[in-house]
């Protein structure tokens, strides 16, 4: 059987226009890989929204990052202060990956 190791799966829910800003933070903690998933609609304290809005300003995305625990901790420390002001949602879970040295 192929060996797997545990890494962190980080999900950051973010307003689409803010993505470049978060990517900059990822790079600061030396994370070099990420993927962006489109969010179609949602609801929260601010009411409901949906992406059929050509302004683009209210669109949301999820930035998905697989990373080592160490880098993840650094990222969480970096992002925590702006979670509220930037309306972010950040979750971290454990995942098994093959060949963990890449992350």
Ligand X SMILES: Nc1ncnc2c1ncn2[C@@H]1O[C@H](COP(=O)(O)O)[C@@H](O)[C@H]1O
Q: Interface with a copy of itself by CB under 8 A: which residues?
A: 1-2, 4, 7, 9, 11, 13, 19, 23, 32-45, 60-62, 66, 73, 76-77, 80, 83, 89-99
**Contact assessment for residue 76 and residue 26, using Cβ atoms and an 8 Å cutoff:** no
- How many angstroms separate the CA atoms of 103 and 97, rounded? 9
Sign of CA dihedral 27, 98, 7, 95: positive
Binding flag, residue 103, ligand X (CB under 6 A): yes
Max Cα distance, the chain (Å): 50
Q: Give the nearest distance from C-beta 47 to a copy of itself in angstroms.
A: 10
Stretch that binds ligand X, among 16-24, 39-47, 70-78, 93-101 (CB under 6 A): 39-47
């Amino acid at each position: 059987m192929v060996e797997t190791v545990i890494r962190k799966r980080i999900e950051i829910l973010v307003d689409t226009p803010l993505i470049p800003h978060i990517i900059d933070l990822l790079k600061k903690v030396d994370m070099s890989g990420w993927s962006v998933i489109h969010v179609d609609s949602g609801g929260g304290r601010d009411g409901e929204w949906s992406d059929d809005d050509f302004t683009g300003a209210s669109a949301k995305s999820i930035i998905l990052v697989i990373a080592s625990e160490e880098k993840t901790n650094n990222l969480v420390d970096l992002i925590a202060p702006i979670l509220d002001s930037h309306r972010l949602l950040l979750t971290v879970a454990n995942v098994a990956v093959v060949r963990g040295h890449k992350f």
